[in-house]
Amino acid sequence: MNTHMDDDLTYLYSQLQIASMAFVLQHSDVDWAYNVQRTDSAGLGTRNGTFWPRGRTLGGSGAINSMMYVRGNRRDYERWKNLGNPEWGWEDVLPYFRKSENMNIPHLARGAGAKYHRTGGYLNVEQRIDNTALNGVFKQATIELGYEWIEDFNLDRHIGYGSSQHTMIGPTRCSPAKAFLTPIRTRENLHVIKHALVGRVLIDERNVATGVSFVIDGSQRVLQATARREVIVAAGAINTPQLLMLSGVGRADELQQFDIPVKVDLNVGGNLQDHVAVPLFYKFYNLSDSNTDDLFAQMDELYKYAVLNQSQAIVRAGILDTMGFLNTKNASDPFPDLQVITIGLPKGGRYSAVLANNFELSETISASVQEVDRFTPALHVLLTALNPKSRGRVKLGSTKPRDHPIIEANYFENSDDLNVIVQGIRLQQRLFQTKTFKTAGATLHRIDIPGCRDQVYDTDEYWECYVRQLTITTYHPVGTAKMGPATDPDAVVDSRLRVRGVRGLRVVDASIMPLLVSGNTNAPTIMIGELASDFIKHDHADL
């Protein structure tokens, strides 16, 4: 953010949007803007199949996400280790979460929290100051229902509702690029080429990665960069498998369809997992929220931050402070299978229109969603199935790097994922029986879904239909270059992230996750980068 701007409130409000709502960056020129293949079981109420934004800028998806800092839990990483990845247990990865972090919530980094948090890292982590009426009502209702209030989900307790943490500096985004690139941008051994598209990894006849070929700004001239030590691919769970396959690393039968010479036959693009989700919308007829109702009040707060340097002026539209992790099958289980994310919508209809556009909903459903905040403040509640059993695949669409690959999410291939979300809806409905919600005049907004009109409202069958129609993503695709031992036929990289069968080629991004973690993936992906950097330093000790 430019802290020397004058009173150009139009500019400031655009920065407010960028700082507080990632949704405005979707469908922009910094988004790859993918869609998954439509199926008969999911995304039926969307125009093009479920929309998948992916970052196309410095900082990757961490530059366009909702900035939530969630690590997952001990069980997630012990599962990775038990699959044959000895360096990836909870006690192994925890120091690398801490290594990155500047925990800017002082009391969380002291006492028992010192084992889990530190100050002094590049990545700033904060909690938002969120005293909105919407947040207060939601928080009070969860406490009234008897849920434990958890101040820090990144410790060792996970079931309940609590305060979320964000990769922010005040009201501004702390993206991976801002955190890690900006401080070292003047180093002589760092050279960043922007607007470059890599077409393939160069692999010689000995199966050694020697560099990459790329073009800049859409030019037809193909350039090459050579590697003295190794090539590191960090393009994410969609672009990494696409690049590997274009380079001859992938399933032989698929590569041969495109006349790509096969370097190594590996299950690249398989094992795709994502946090499938569904939105609910709550209206509050008795709630007047002066902090979010007034557009000009929001602009004034950002003006105070950017121009007057009043650092406590925090914009409050967007992701709320309150978040939940629940277990839909066993309330006493210490590990969740459902995540609840809350997003405040001031009355006036502006934000629901953005949501409906980004979800790419069909015309009738979109119009119905846009009624939720027209006359009242509202909540958009995102229910996410955390440990999906369904598996998808990324395939080549063509041999052209600019063409989108084919993404088969296969949502609800396993019905357990559908059941988790339906049971999550039932848990959410309990909120409407609380005194807090009744006093606030809360109602569940009933969306007009043509495909569900034949179902009896509020039956399990109706909600199953609802979920299949309004299938969205929590933006967490992983697994398409799976990490695993040599005995795992689906493994693409070993536990030190080296591509099997190719020397000098390593993958360092979310695609290596063998199983999806129980939470947002930005913090775990940064941890992967930190641990991989030590692998690289160890493997090249003579550097």
- Mind telling me the catalytic residues? 476
What is the DSSP-derived secondary structure letter of residue 50?
Answer: S
Helices 295-306 and 9-20 pack at an angle, to 10 degrees, of: 90
C-alpha 461/C-alpha 453 separation (Å) is: 12
Token pair 């125009």 in the structure block, residue = 47
CA distance 439 to 503: 64
212: enclosing H helix or E strand: strand 209-216
Contact predicate 200/247, CB 8 Å = yes
Number of CB atoms found within 10 A of residue 74's CB: 18
State the CB neighbour count (10 A cutoff) for residue 101: 29
Contact 345, 387 (CB under 8 A): no
State how far Cα 199 lies from the chain centre. Answer: 25
Q: Which two tokens stand for residue 379?
A: 């909540």
Residue type for position 246? L
187: CB partners within 8 A, 6+ apart:
none
Residues near 46 by Cβ (< 8 Å), separated by ≥ 6? 38, 359, 360, 361, 362, 471
Q: How far apart are CA 61 and CA 475, in angstroms?
A: 9
Q: Crossing angle, helix 522-539 and helix 90-100, to 10 degrees?
A: 100
**Chain centre to alpha carbon of residue 175:** 13
Distance CA 543, CA 540 (A): 6
Q: Count Cβ atoms within 10 A of the Cβ of residue 502 and give its class: 0-12 exposed, 13-18 middle, 19 or more buried.
A: buried
**Nearest residue to 342 (alpha-carbon basis) of 306, 317, 369:** 317
